[in-house]
Structure 1
């Protein structure tokens, strides 16, 4: 048996993760992500898939963020009908995120059609809600730390990655005629001291390793990010303004809800309304109650008041509720998706609140190149929203330490958990500088053989095993 790997995304960029493993008689993908960020990357989503879809027999998902699952409806639309393996929480989250993605793409295409700002005469969505629903029957949920087979020669096990609810490190054990090989995919690794999620599991052995490098070039200097969060909120309230926090609906929103609840209970910020204005975030939050064994908050959730249920929280499902915040008077906090301001209701709030100096926008977590979130951090004076140049007059705050990604030290710490160094380590899911920095540290400090693969590059991993 020969084993080859091809990089269909997530290489040289922090988006579009798709890794093709070919055993000769069996081809499967690890992750099936959407390209996000700069236009040149987004346009890759519209390209013909770089392999015959009919040859693809299975997909294994690390977690439910769109840069790891968002291309699934497009792939199914092109004819894929094999099993899609993932953890149980990932399956439920995937349904929420994919439906929302389909809806947003339908809405954006319709809005572009009405406003006439698309270069296409009849702009179409990449896929629809109906396309997203076609993925659901293919999902095959599996428990953590329980091996299962996807092929007579391939056994898979999911381990906690600590990134978002249901996120996994994936280990493949491939049995050839003469040898057995282990392939390990880190997925996106979380923080070791996350107050909600379990830390990433240490894996003792891997012949070939894929390790993410989102924060491979930086260390988090902030040990208590909630203090910086509190200062930014108080500062905005002192000006009589409203706080807008763009946040990923899954993971980041729940972490913010936890910190905001703790800050209010400790008297470090006033008890003001917190508007969670994201139907997807609301649905995702409910899953934390369903999958209580997958996180640390089980005991807290048994109390009458907890981070996801207390008098200050307002869950806004309907669009009319969201629009009512345009004229809201007084101090308040709006938490709304998307986290990098690439779409979603947060754009509506930016449209109305960015032009006013009294307001504050708190940017948390990683912001990919080309996104509105990154442009805010870079100090651009205007943002293009709904075809208009919106002046950025609100004060922009950047809070570090609330990322769902392990920083450089944590990535190295996780890597040191291997009892013996992998024969080859692919450094993936990172921009050029972060990938190069992590690859260099792994090579120089641990003596590892590291490679930063390029888009569509192929490698022969093993021959005649």
Structure 2
């Protein structure tokens, strides 16, 4: 899938095109004014580097952006730097390759492993959705086509060239890069880019100081510009309330229902399983079958276990052994579609953990269609739900949910458990910026809903005295 580091060829420094900007330029090609679609372009002279290439998720008008051509020719990009393997950061990579990108994709080795799982699953879902739309006739497009295919993904995976953490690597004559752990999911990185002598730091998604498995991110490097996420920029995580999940499970089992937990396949599923094991061990919930109905989540769990056995420095030494205790659960791996369909009408009360976490796609959507109408059942939301997603609609109290062209009544109990978020909150983000060796000249606040980004920018200016800006989509700024 990826070349060893020693065999890396430097990215192309000259495209045969006219010289680019004499000063380093940063362009916000995604995640500006919204949470998803992370994509940023750095240019200097003939060097062009993208940081992230993510999918937009949420309302249909947002998802339509995924089909718009990139404002820069993919063939002119020297390299892509990937912060982590979540789809809103890596999901456009196959389309980038399909449209002509032929440079390396640099990230940590764990991100390369997880991105392979995520992108293969994404292509499978895109192809399945297009097929189903054509068969059912509910798409406005004739024929409905996938954004990219499994073949596009395999060509993309051959471009991955993992980098170690904390080591400076030259990309072109004027661009170098260094990765640092971000503590968000396994393999996540903050990216420090040296471009013509100026440093730009990209936070990617930052983890919480109290992540159950991962060490917190180190302070950012001294930088001219800091591009900072703001998913939780206007709020602080509430104190954990483990009784909420335990109560939901006990009530649902008592009435003979199913607990359905939409969970991101990477990291979130691991954390949900750890909490279920802890609650069962403490006698807070009854022992019932726990079905992990996500092949992607099962593969991702394997990546986490390998990191544990390899002694990864990303994992907290005091908690990593908890992964081994998952064997104590009555755990069932659901691998084929037929077995998944049988869970739509299970024979006994059980817990189903299935992707995706915001119910935007995957097997969990089929489970919702069958289980939402039954008041014995319960849906447990386990973290941030982007506007326009089915998860957000449930969080906001929707009485009906549109699934595969039909409206499904919501009679099941819906419980929100925010304890599982692995995003830094507003206090964490401000503290991380304040911990830099020297304050950045400018902080660009991205990857958040407008109110969240604006609130965080205001706090950074008021509390740290640093110029903080919420950029517009497509905006270009100098970073020298």
TM-score (norm 1): 0.95
2:327 partner SS:
coil
Question: Counterpart of 1:192?
Answer: 209
Correspondent of 2:158 among 120, 128, 137: 137
Question: Counterpart of 2:478?
Answer: 460
Question: Counterpart of 2:315?
Answer: 296
The reply to whether residue 74 of structure 1 matches residue 74 of structure 2 is no
Contact 2:42 2:49 in 1 (8 A): yes
The reply to whether residue 364 of structure 1 matches residue 413 of structure 2 is no
- The 1:295–1:420 alpha-carbon spacing in structure 2 relative to 1, beyond 3 Å, is closer
Q: List structure 1 runs of 4+ shifted beyond 4 angstroms.
A: 297-303
Contact 1:377 1:396 in 2 (8 A): yes
Distance 2:318 2:421 in 1: 24
How far residue 201 of structure 1 moved from its aligned partner, in angstroms, is 1.5
Question: Counterpart of 2:18?
Answer: none
- The 1:383–1:307 alpha-carbon spacing in structure 2 relative to 1, beyond 3 Å, is farther
Correspondent of 1:159 among 180, 192, 198: 180
Gaps of 5+ in 2: 1-21
How far residue 152 of structure 1 moved from its aligned partner, in angstroms, is 2.9
The reply to whether residue 214 of structure 1 matches residue 235 of structure 2 is no
How far residue 302 of structure 1 moved from its aligned partner, in angstroms, is 6.4
Distance 2:386 2:243 in 1: 25
Contact 2:181 2:314 in 1 (8 A): no
How far residue 280 of structure 1 moved from its aligned partner, in angstroms, is 0.2
2:148 partner SS:
coil
Distance 1:459 1:83 in 2: 25
Distance 2:138 2:325 in 1: 41
Deviation digits for residues 143-181 of structure 1 (CA, Å, limit 9, x no counterpart) = 11222221233221111111111001111123x4xxx32
- Taking the TM superposition and a 5 Å limit, the aligned residue runs for 1:101-116 are 101-116=122-137
- Taking the TM superposition and a 5 Å limit, the aligned residue runs for 1:304-319 are 306-319=324-337
- The 1:350–1:185 alpha-carbon spacing in structure 2 relative to 1, beyond 3 Å, is same
How far residue 228 of structure 1 moved from its aligned partner, in angstroms, is 2.1
Distance 1:249 1:387 in 2: 25
Distance 1:155 1:310 in 2: 46
Question: Counterpart of 2:445?
Answer: 427
The reply to whether residue 28 of structure 1 matches residue 49 of structure 2 is yes
Contact 1:276 1:314 in 2 (8 A): yes
The reply to whether residue 87 of structure 1 matches residue 108 of structure 2 is yes
How far residue 330 of structure 1 moved from its aligned partner, in angstroms, is 2.3
Q: Which moved more, 1:45-54 or 1:130-139?
A: 45-54
- The 1:378–1:311 alpha-carbon spacing in structure 2 relative to 1, beyond 3 Å, is closer
Question: Counterpart of 1:62?
Answer: 83
How far residue 300 of structure 1 moved from its aligned partner, in angstroms, is 6.8
CA-based RMSD: 1.5
How far residue 327 of structure 1 moved from its aligned partner, in angstroms, is 2.3
TM-score (norm 2): 0.92
Distance 1:143 1:60 in 2: 13
Contact 1:166 1:294 in 2 (8 A): no
Correspondent of 1:251 among 267, 272, 275: 267
Distance 1:167 1:20 in 2: 19
Contact 2:31 2:37 in 1 (8 A): yes
Contact 2:265 2:357 in 1 (8 A): yes
Contact 1:225 1:402 in 2 (8 A): no
Contact 1:144 1:159 in 2 (8 A): yes
The reply to whether residue 355 of structure 1 matches residue 373 of structure 2 is yes
2:41 partner SS:
strand
Distance 1:159 1:301 in 2: 20
Distance 1:306 1:415 in 2: 35
2:324 partner SS:
coil
Deviation digits for residues 372-392 of structure 1 (CA, Å, limit 9, x no counterpart) = 000001111111111111000
